[in-house]
Structure 1
Amino acid sequence: MSTIPPTQPRLRIGFLLARRFTLSAFANFVDVLRLAADEGDRSRPIHCSWTVLSSDLQPVRSSCGIAVSPDERLGNPSRFDYIVVVGGLIDEIERLSPAYTDFLRTAARAGVPLVGVCTGAFILHRAGLMQGYQCCVSWFHHDDFLDQFEGITPVSDRIFVVDRERLTCSGGASSAHLAAWLVDRHIGRAAARKSLNIMIIDEVLAADDPQPGVPLELKTRDPLVRRALALIQQNLDSPPRVSEVADRLDVSRRKLERHFREALGLAPGDAFLRVRLAQAEFLLHRSERSVTEIALATGFCDLSHFVRVFRDRQGITPEAWRRDQPGQALPSA
């Protein structure tokens, strides 16, 4: 980390990186801070500072294999305005060092706000620090959270949640938006917008903006149905047929249909179509792609097919639906 100038930064962030943390979530968060901290992109930590903390100063390897070397030992958390926990692979959460848990609990007692990025929310919850707080997790990890923490329903339809001194986000690009929210709060809106603009993020998203992903009405704890929905989500531009999904999951089509009927009250094909249409709505509302491009991106063979299916389900064409959304003035085809 660069040497901090004599002036006191207005925003001081301490990072804890879990084993196999998500590098993109960490990098997006840090880059917003870096670009807001100085004039241009000179990266001097003048207005805000960022420090990677560790109990032993050993490099921490991310889920993609790239390692990050910590800057300082844990020490007193009160020297920071926020402690940000960056999670990653679910299987690594239980292996978090007890020293990290003690540090987070000390920070909470001292009133230092805690931030959970990606599965960092799982880590905060496992440390007993999320009781009574809303908690945001990615739609992709919604059911994993339910499996680990009974009786708690996480927020999986928003990109981040600010609930008093607990801030949580779904990871990925949402990390940049949460960091920009902090910059806006402590340094100013111009600095926040400057960071996102330099990162080629055109639109500033608020906490209540939706995550793209599986529609909430399709959430289930059935592992077979969850795997099938994830498979469709990951292949939106060329969605496999129901029989192909069954083959990939090594089950019979009849078994797959039975599980969907019992879990969601839907046939698999209807559920898969809902996932594709939900993504199409997200792109219509949140991107400048043409309707033709969105049709192809969500697996429809051509524009006329997309328009027909969309109108059958929504009672309105994609172009008309887009015009009805607040703040939208985008190309239609």
Structure 2
Amino acid sequence: MPRNFVIELPCVEQSATGHAAHLVEMLRSANLVAGLRLGRRAPRFGWHWVDGHGRPLHAMPHGVEGRAAEGPVQAVFLSPLHCPDIPSIRDIVATNQTITRRIATAFDQGLAVCTLGSGAWFAAAGGRCQGRRVALPWYFMGGFGLDFPDIELAEGQPFVDDGPWLSASHPEALASMAVALTRHAFGDDLAAALAALLLPDPQRERATLAALQDRRIPATRTSVLAHAIAWLEARVEQPYDLRALADAVSASPRTLLRHFQQELGYSPLDHLHRLRCARARVLLEITLESVPSVALACGYEDASAFRRVFVRHVGMTPAAYRERHALRAPRRRWRVAASEV
């Protein structure tokens, strides 16, 4: 099983959570790159939004998606604070000791601690950062240097990766933080792939434009898997024929089965069942056709076989699904048309 990497995102009332959401979007990009390269074997980033006491926060950006990647917390990200001045930052940190203790524990456990801008105060207040370097905006350096003289201020560096402490001075450096987290979590190869996606590269831009002008970049061809899925989607109600499907995409049945299993985790027949069940759900919701008629419209001549497949993929019988989700009133409740009165 892939080893996921989960990041905790503590938030208080004054937290600039939009910056944390921006980091989450970059971690979603890392998940996308990992999935494209490794398929179902790919490790994933997860993220947990929590309040100042570590309790889950609901209705945060992509919160459900972040919790779907199971695993122990491996990092903590501290957003900058919306404050008018440095004394206000000090007051907020002083009144949120739970976060300070959490960060100190994270350092003790060897977790990565990530900070953006004034979020560095929380990391430093835990007393575990002596001798380390931090990236800060210039306007925070004076106050931070007075509060924590044992921490080195990284002049002119928007991002610093100093062991367990990853710090960014400005939001523009969050891309470098996402790449560094990917390197910490999943290694150099995926980090390099993400860097190519997130970080500007003028040299590559010039090379790409030159190759395009020289007609060296061909159109991307449809993959065997995508071609097969499109073929099935156009023939949902037709009998399943693996050989015909393989011939249509110019692959052997064995190769086709391998593509489906590696990338999706199931067979072409399973995918066809999913497509048929998706159609059946629509018909059950918006029509009054009988279950055998719905089964036939979805490629099942045997209504009993249709019921078994539907229960396996949807979790309930077709009749129960219609009872719960139907958008049409039962026929006995239809209103008489005005012309029939």
In the superposition, the TM-score normalised over structure 1's length comes to: 0.46
Q: If each structure's helix is expressed as a fraction of its own residues, which one has the higher value?
A: 2
Question: Which has the higher Rg, Structure 1 or Structure 2?
Answer: 2
In the superposition, the TM-score normalised over structure 2's length comes to: 0.45
